[in-house]
Amino acid sequence: MTLIEILKQRKSVRAYLDQAVEKEKINAILDAARHAPSGVNTQPWQVAVVTGKAKQALQTKIETAFRAGNKGKADYQYYPTQWIEPYKSRRKDCGLLMYKTLKIERGDTERQQDQWAANYRAFDAPVMLLFFIDEHMQTGSYMDYGMFLQSVMLAAVDQGLATCPQASIADYPEIIKAELGYTDNRILLCGMALGYEDKNADVNSYRTGREDVESFTDFFD
């Protein structure tokens, strides 16, 4: 595949096969992603690869907290505090498309909660990636990190794997840092599910839309 084909093939996958991911592939992905650019070569990324019993223990603690009504508190503000258009409508359409695909009705709070809880298991993917950054880093390093995360996801496609970047996992930094032994001076940015896509799962059958180039681009000749 060409790079453009990989870019177009990448999608957020929310159901995975019960198939272990080879450590060699994880290393290959991270080895490629480390070449992402960063301001003055700061390379602010710090990655935790969580699998097996460690993943099971961690996701159980997070899901238990979620189902007990503990909404958690992320280390930073990911979404806007007030939604405006067109972002408000895009957010709504994204959620409705998933629920429609899964045939989850608006009033079915139990199924909605179950679907949201799957976030905290990294959708049962065999690998949960967690991304940290030093608290002293500023906005530019967050931009750098975005390029690193995209590089991880594109390299995963190249290795025949699927991903889903997850801001939701960052809701529980205290649990995650305590479980993995990370200090409080690291900010948990997000998580990412990594594994082999279950192509027969309904939740993987839809694709969210993208705006045309003309809608967000101005050309000046």
Q: Which two tokens stand for residue 40?
A: 């003055």
Continuous segment of H or E residues that includes residue 90:
helix 87-102
What is the model's pLDDT at position 106? 85
Tell me the backbone φ, ψ of residue 14, rounded to 5 degrees: -120, 20
Whole-angstrom distance, CA of residue 70 vs CA of residue 20: 31
What is the model's pLDDT at position 70? 95
12-34: b (≥16 Cβ within 10 Å) or e: bbbbbbeeebeeebbeebbebbe
Instruction: Walk along the chain (221 residues) and give the pLDDT tens digit of each residue.
Output: 999 999 999 999 999 999 999 999 999 999 999 999 999 999 999 999 999 999 999 999 999 999 999 999 999 999 999 999 999 999 999 999 999 999 999 888 899 999 999 999 999 999 999 999 999 999 999 999 999 999 999 999 999 999 999 999 999 999 999 999 999 999 999 999 999 999 999 999 999 999 999 999 999 99
Residue pair 196/6 in contact (Cβ under 8 Å)? The answer is no
88-104: b (≥16 Cβ within 10 Å) or e: eeeeeeeeeebeeebeb
* pTM tops 0.85, yes or no: yes
Residue pair 50/131 in contact (Cβ under 8 Å)? The answer is no
Domain segments of the chain as ranges: 11-77+119-204
Continuous segment of H or E residues that includes residue 127:
strand 127-134
- How remote is the C-alpha of 187 from its chain's centroid? 15
132 CB-contact burial (10 Å; exposed 0-12 / middle 13-18 / buried 19+): buried
CATH fold, domain 11-77+119-204, is NADH Oxidase (3.40.109)
What is the model's pLDDT at position 64? 97
Q: Of 58, 10, 30, 21, give the one whose Cα is nearest residue 172.
A: 58
What is the model's pLDDT at position 107? 86
